[in-house]
A = this chain, B = another copy of it.
């Protein structure tokens, strides 16, 4: 059955709804207060919540229910699922933990639930999850209160995560940086819906342009995963951070989500073959997601680095060379033209070092001159230097007109962060270190090569 009702249900039952502040069931009540469809509260304690009636069981709800969100202790979950079956509810999100991640007894409980799901043809996300956030439909089962975890606005990135914690930190950072999200799914133990189902679904979702994933172990067959991700990769980039890449990590995975993490090398090879962009760590997952969501793909590998701080240019070049990127110098004609624009002590190679006293317009003049010679630009603009005005944000944003990927670097506190935010609001991702921007360009390039190699 389709997964659509997880994201766009007409009616939702919150099982375990609570009026006690701080409880998971209370955060859910709060989250769904802005939901457009019908919302029903279910609890064995049927005293009203915020003046609204509470049902003893989903079976007592008069109207039809598309989705049940279940936040009751593990031992009550099988009973609730049976009720959902009776009620004919097609989709459930089981937030409760205490299942296969805890050992044999938990696995047995999952097995019991799985049977009921099959009989009822119910699709389930979970257990052991934070659940689903859809910024468009306002489904929000994330039981972390808003004063602890900011909710990002609407955007193009969808995020699939086996770990609720990894997922919630990413969302929290995105919310702070003003980076939008489309759908978020914490799928935990993946008793039913797994990463491959979600990839398949998001692959056809018009509101998803980039898929980021944190995966500990593939829950579908390896063959299905690769088949699906190869297909989806051709349409949109998939970024994967694999948890449990080492022996110790693999062991930790088994006690976390009950997955078999498998050999890291096998995973990496499979990812590569499927066009998946692998992130080496949490930070790369975050950085790459931003890059793909905001910028077009490079059509070739010629990168130009422009900087107003020599040291940062050098660090960027070092990273580019370590990553095998191509850093051609500008053509002789361009060098001549550019040297007329810059002070005599500026350095016009790759990087182009504008020198500290250059103003914002120089970035425009240089990219304008070089746009046809390069496939992408890393623009380093250190704002500690007063010669670069706040207007540099507008200048950098405007350079997107050339259709080449642009990644910006601005490192610092107060003023820098303010300008960086303006640049990102204009669609250009900003990184706090030169190395992170360069790695992100490399990710865009790798994916671009995959698509053109396998494209029509």
Verify B345–A106 contact, CB threshold 8 A.
Answer: yes
Kindly identify which residue among B164, B249, B327, B349 contacts A255, using a CB–CB cutoff of 8 Å: B349
Residues from 386 to 418 in A contacting B, C-beta threshold 8 Å? 386, 411-416
Within 8 Å CB of A301, what residues of B?
none
Kindly identify which residue among B249, B314, B349 contacts A216, using a CB–CB cutoff of 8 Å: B314
Among A95-103, A221-229, A289-297, the one that faces the other chain is A95-103
Among A77-85, A377-385, A446-454, the one that faces the other chain is A377-385
Among A61-69, A114-122, A146-154, the one that faces the other chain is A146-154
Residues from 243 to 264 in A contacting B, C-beta threshold 8 Å? 243-249, 251-253, 255-257
Verify A349–B282 contact, CB threshold 8 A.
Answer: no
Verify B101–A244 contact, CB threshold 8 A.
Answer: no
Residue A434 interfacial (CB < 8 Å): yes
A172-B412, A311-B166, A313-B252 known; A97-B355 Cβ under 8 A: yes
Within 8 Å CB of A246, what residues of B?
317-318, 321-322
Residue A168 interfacial (CB < 8 Å): yes
Verify A248–B317 contact, CB threshold 8 A.
Answer: yes
Verify A411–B173 contact, CB threshold 8 A.
Answer: yes
A199 nearest CB across to chain B (Å): 19
A249-B317, A315-B281 known; A386-B144 Cβ under 8 A: yes
Please state the number of chain copies in the assembly.
2
Residue A426 interfacial (CB < 8 Å): no
| CA distance in complex: A176, B101 (Å) | 40
| CA distance in complex: A149, B356 (Å) | 14
Within 8 Å CB of A162, what residues of B?
311
A286 nearest CB across to chain B (Å): 9
A249 nearest CB across to chain B (Å): 4
A150-B413, A281-B319, A321-B248 known; A314-B243 Cβ under 8 A: yes
Verify B309–A166 contact, CB threshold 8 A.
Answer: yes
Kindly identify which residue among B173, B311, B384, B385 contacts A163, using a CB–CB cutoff of 8 Å: B311
Within 8 Å CB of A216, what residues of B?
311, 314
Task: Name, among A176, A244, A320, A412, the residue most crowded by chain B CB atoms within 10 Å (CB to CB).
Answer: A412
Residue A312 interfacial (CB < 8 Å): yes
Verify B172–A416 contact, CB threshold 8 A.
Answer: yes
For residue A147, which residue of chain B has the nearest CB?
B415
For residue A246, which residue of chain B has the nearest CB?
B321
Verify A165–B248 contact, CB threshold 8 A.
Answer: no
A246-B321, A313-B256 known; A283-B164 Cβ under 8 A: no
Residue A353 interfacial (CB < 8 Å): yes
| CA distance in complex: A411, B22 (Å) | 21
For residue A310, which residue of chain B has the nearest CB?
B256
Within 8 Å CB of A145, what residues of B?
386
| CA distance in complex: A251, B384 (Å) | 25
A188 nearest CB across to chain B (Å): 10
| CA distance in complex: A253, B345 (Å) | 14
Verify B311–A256 contact, CB threshold 8 A.
Answer: yes
Residues from 318 to 344 in A contacting B, C-beta threshold 8 Å? 318-322, 327, 344
27 intermolecular pairs with C-beta atoms under 8 Å apart: A97-B355, A98-B344, A101-B310, A106-B345, A148-B384, A148-B415, A163-B310, A165-B307, A165-B311, A166-B309, A166-B312, A166-B315, A169-B412, A243-B315, A244-B318, A248-B320, A248-B327, A249-B317, A252-B314, A252-B347, A252-B349, A255-B310, A256-B310, A256-B347, A257-B310, A282-B434, A282-B435
Q: Which 4 A-B pairs have the closest CB atoms?
A: A165-B309, A163-B311, A176-B413, A246-B321
Identify the A interface with B (CB < 8 A).
22, 97-98, 101-102, 106, 144-145, 147-150, 161-169, 172-173, 175-176, 214, 216, 241, 243-249, 251-253, 255-257, 281-283, 307-315, 317-322, 327, 344-345, 347, 349-351, 353, 355-356, 382-386, 411-416, 433-436
